[in-house]
Structure 1
Amino acid sequence: MFWFFLIALVVVVGAVTLAVAGGDGGGPVLSEALPVGLRGYRMAEVDDALDRLAAELTERDSRIAELEAALAGAQAAAVGGPELLKGERPAPAEPDRPDEPGAQGAQGAPGDPS
């Protein structure tokens, strides 16, 4: 039984060591993307990587702004109809008017002694 646990321990430790040190992990490793020079990362490589990152972020931000504008237009069309997109405003609803001109309903006109 002792030998079984010892062999199992060696296999587990070996598998963990290979996974951490030698496995590719399915993604790029930083040292592959940025070659290491004598004193660390090469400044030109880091600058290029940062420039690419800045360009991708700018492109992403402009795409987000474009999609937000399209969404706002779609929401305006859904809520207010196509006249909002054309710059037209719908005519305001007229208030209810009494049948007789000049009549103020049951209260009468201000200043009227009736």
Structure 2
Amino acid sequence: MNAIDAPCRAAGTGADQANCLNLAAKKADGDLNGAYRRIMAVLGLSDSQKLQSAERAWLIYRDQTCAAERDLYDGGTGGLAAYPACMEAVTRHRIDDLKAAYWWQVEKIGS
């Protein structure tokens, strides 16, 4: 939520910011699911199994990273915004990583 490119920087404080960040995190999750589905549709069995395994590990990383960031606020209200902000940012970066590694396959094979 403190990143320069974070969404909701103008949303104010408190509940407005947390609500905005929750919506942004849900959008990022939907975007990730869409990109992941498109990539999986063009991969062969072995590559899709490897990506699926990597995605499971990434989900654990995302959840633990964002929980640790939320916990920096010791149960305070800042954690209500920090958690979805982290989820949005980490997910957005995952989309970029997946596209950098796999998107040429989507463009080559189509979907």
Q: TM-score, normalised by structure 1?
A: 0.30
Q: TM-score, normalised by structure 2?
A: 0.30
> Which has the higher Rg, Structure 1 or Structure 2?
1
Structure richer in helix, relative to its length: 2
Greater relative contact order (CA < 8 Å, ≥ 6 in sequence) = 2
